[in-house]
Chains A and B, each alone.
Chain A
Amino acid sequence: MEFAATERLDLTTVPVTPVDAFRCRVLDRVAEGWRVLALFTLPGDAGGRELCCLMGRDHDGQLSFLRTAPLTAYPSLTPECPQCHLFEREIYEQWGIMPTGHPWLKPVRFTGCPARPDTPRPAPGVTEYFQVRGEQVHEVAVGPVHAGIIEPGHFRFQCFGEEVIHLEIGLGFQHRGIEAALAGGPDRRTVHFMETAAGDTTIGHCLAHAAVLETLTGLTAPARGRAIGRIALELERLANHTGDIGALAGDVGYLPTMSFCGRIRGDFLNCTGVVCGNRFGRGLVRPGGTAWDLGQPEIEELSRRVADAGRAVLGAAAILFISSTALARFEGTGRLCAETARDIGLVGPPARACGLPRDARHSFPLPGAGAKDIPMQLNDSGDVQARGLVRRLEVEASLDFIAGALADLPAGPVRAALPDALPPHSLAVGLVEGWRGEIRHVAATDADGKFAAYKIIDPSFHNWFGLALALRGQQVSDFPLCNKSFNLSYCGHDL
């Protein structure tokens, strides 16, 4: 069934598709250019779980939803459609539904399967890893605790000398049980779970959640509230892109840009602090708009601060991207081709750096936001250099957007009150282009209008596999550089 991204889907009208037809339709649509946005389960009759697939088409923002009858096994989609590989592993881990023929059904979050209490919970990180054998082949294992102030994850490199033949990434250490805690909501904790799903993407996840609730209730945030939310989203992008440009510089030993960007990143975070008192935007975006308005003094203060920080970051980036020693390390390192990126469902700056025009701000504009309100930045070399340049160009686009939006803020209230009750048996989707890429939230309500399921798909969900592939054939010493060029979220993946 096809519907628009800002449209509520009445689940009682969605027919059940036989599993073979379900599979064919998913594969046909992928061949036609649709993307698998979410593969998940919903509670069905007699305690079973239905397999559901949400797909999206970028050029017109259409979504498509398919579901099966409750099942316990089905032929895996992954062999023909690799972008499903992690979804199928996740479904198997959470619900014990077997994707028959999946090439490697490893744990995702090492929780054991709550639906099959007889199976033991695996020790975190302990599973099979792909191994290369041969003379002079060696294995490098890193983590979960890394050498820095960074979240935990486990990385295994199969190396031949310095060259990485294969990298495997094992996550799940950060699993806090957010999706399980969201079921039965919304309640007073719900919006705070959104703020901390990936804490560096507070605004992105809150906007996606707001879109879900607004679509479910049919109410849209007032124009002023949505505009302030959009400004905050670009501030979040500016802070993090600035940090990433600095981190790239630091990893090749180009210290001026690293030092400058560390400071400028904080300046952008402080801009968000001007809006709502919190540097990460906690307490700002709420379903139906924002909790804070901007008065004339705040608008002037913000405009001045953003312009100052903007000049500083463009200056810091300018000296980096003309430094021949830095470019020698960036160019050709960690290359991904567009075909691989498309196959694995890559999103965000890494996808745009491969030339894939994927940007939710274009494909799926937020309810109440202007369509295509910001130019898309593309590159085609797919390497560290391209990922850095896309960020550099997006910094400029975000600065222009904020300057324009602050100068022309719509009048009126910032927040509309949403009704307490949500419609029963409904499904709604929130799609937001966060700084890491497309954030997807999918909520389905039960007969009482409570969340029967709430899926959060952080852009890191797909992109971790992109990082693993980008490292093939690289020097193991280039891992930090490649890693920073993706800068993915551990907790956003582990939830």
Chain B
Amino acid sequence: MLNILLERLRQGHRTIAFPASLPPLPPRYRGLPILSAGPCAPGCGSCAGVCPSRALGADADGLYLDLGRCILCGACAGACPGGRVSFSGDHRLASSTREGLILRPGTRPTVTPLEPARQKLFARSLRLRQISAGGCNACEADINVLTTIVFDLGRFGIDFVASPRHADGVVVTGPVTRNMLSAVGDTFDAVPDPRVAIAVGACAISGGLFADSPETTGGATPHLPVDLFVPGCPPHPLTILDGLLRLIGLKTP
């Protein structure tokens, strides 16, 4: 018993102060991509040519980056001859809408809190059921870590539960493989209304790197009414936590 108490003293208090303050992220962390204004050289396409998940493109309004597809590898930043693409240290990537993830110069994704009816129900108690549907265990791991003493998700009234019947919503990871499609639908159907659906990671938002595989079905977006999109490959735990808190109407730094 004494050795447990001594070890407890040695390990110390480890819960971060977030959302009161932001813990430091590593200097090399690649967060929110920034597109600078200005024309591209005609017919350049250097950034799109190196993007592994076809996140970059140009249309009538000029260059755009689909954060729902982006795996934040940073290849485009190195490829753009005009330096129009760069990666900031901003961890706030989540969006309430799929369209909000299409980044252009001067735009950023935003989270609108749930409408009053669901916010009243979920703001102080949100029970979520996680479904991995082709996830590579990185998104899963960074969701799992929210339940450790570092992030202590329970202090916000948010928790992950075993049964969809006990849940207020689902968190989907992975590109939703053909072999998981029916299980995803069954699990979501087992969650009583009103409920939320959250897509975590590029795969769950758009199929990500696997969007072209005939074995996947484009993530959760085509199958569920997604309320929160959390981009990344995988998203940093703070990115996920930030999205969850803003969804239920809490202020974050």
Contact = CB atoms under 8 A, between A and B. Distances in A.
A311 B136 CA distance: 30
Interface string B199-237: 000000000011011111000000000000000011011
Nearest to A315: B7
A180 B213 contact: yes
B11 A312 contact: yes
A259 B10 contact: no
A277 B30 contact: yes
B210 A176 contact: yes
A174 B73 contact: no
Could you say which of B3, B148, B233 has the most chain A C-beta atoms within 10 Å of its C-beta?
B148
Interface stretch (A42-50, A193-201, A219-227, A395-403): A193-201
Contact of B136 (A196, A269, A279): A196
A255 to B, nearest CB: 10
Nearest to B138: A199
Interface string B51-91: 11100000000000000000111110000000000000000
B69 to A, nearest CB: 12
A318 interface: yes
A489 B140 CA distance: 12
A110 B213 contact: no
A145 interface: yes
A437 to B, nearest CB: 16
Interface in A311-332: 312, 315-316, 318-319, 322
Interface stretch (A79-87, A130-138, A146-154, A425-433): A146-154
Contacts of B215: 111, 175-177, 180
Q: How large is the interface on A (under 10, 10 to 19, 20 to 34, 35 or more residues)?
A: 35 or more
B165 to A, nearest CB: 12
Interface stretch (A11-19, A25-33, A260-268, A470-478): A260-268
Given A124-B178, A282-B72, 13 more contacts: A110-B179, A149-B143, A174-B132, A174-B179, A176-B216, A181-B213, A196-B209, A259-B148, A262-B147, A273-B25, A282-B233, A283-B73, A312-B11
Interface of B: 3-4, 7-8, 10-11, 14, 25-30, 50-53, 71-75, 130-145, 147-150, 160, 162-163, 174-175, 177-180, 182-183, 187, 209-210, 212-216, 233-234, 236-237
18 contacts: A145-B183, A147-B163, A148-B162, A149-B140, A151-B140, A174-B135, A176-B134, A200-B138, A274-B28, A275-B28, A277-B27, A278-B29, A280-B138, A312-B10, A315-B10, A316-B7, A319-B4, A491-B134
Interface of A: 109-111, 124-125, 144-145, 147-152, 172-178, 180-181, 188-189, 192-193, 196-200, 202, 256, 259-260, 262-263, 265-266, 269-270, 273-280, 282-283, 292, 312, 315-316, 318-319, 322, 489-491
